[in-house]
Amino acid sequence: MSILSRLRPPAFQAGGMPEIDTATYRLHVKGLVKEERSFTWEEIMALPASKVNARLTSVSGWSVRATWEGVLWRDFVSAVTPRKEASHAVFSSFGGGYETAVSLADLDHPRVLLVYAVEGEPLEREYGGPLRMVIPHLYGYKSAKWLETITLTDTDRGGYWEDRGYTESGIIEPGFTLDVNTKTRRPISGGEVTEF
């Protein structure tokens, strides 16, 4: 049981919560890349592994700190070689029920990960396992769960929550958040939450 299951932050399932077997799992990378590719689970696990201690902050008013484990975006993207005209990545969940686009500039950040574990435990299905994004400096709706496809494009576009009124940038705004770790409401200054 991971820290997420112990702390019980809200687990949103926009677009549904798919059942994914890592034995047959494929992460497809397509669009504006040198060569389209599908990664098996074993190939993902063979990529350089990293750990990042960071907060995942929800636009709905809560934030949780954990040590996320997986593949840094910078390491992952070097394996797929985007074409020079690529400016955004569109992350799609299994079944196509959820999508969000993130600029490559926002992804080129030292703490952005494709996450498969948290605090030494496999990432549970409820929280986006087996593989999800964690982009600490953007709201959680940009950290797509149940990754199936990453499409590199030369334009921004909406997504599941963006089409329902959330900002396309996903920038964390100043205000207050519930720190799930301590169960206290805390002020935040905007951007990645590093104050606590």
Pick the CATH number of 25-167 from 3.40.605.10, 3.60.21.10, 3.40.50.2020, 3.90.420.10: 3.90.420.10
Q: In the chain, where are the structural domains located? A: 25-167
pLDDT tens digits for 30-61? 999 999 999 999 999 999 999 999 999 999 99
Beta carbons within 10 angstroms of residue 85's beta carbon: 9
For the question of whether the overall pTM of this predicted structure is more than 0.75, the answer is yes
Structural element, H or E, at residue 120: none
How many CA within 13 A on the CB side of residue 5?
13
pLDDT tens digits for 134-190? 999 999 999 999 999 999 999 998 888 788 889 899 999 999 999 999 999 999 999
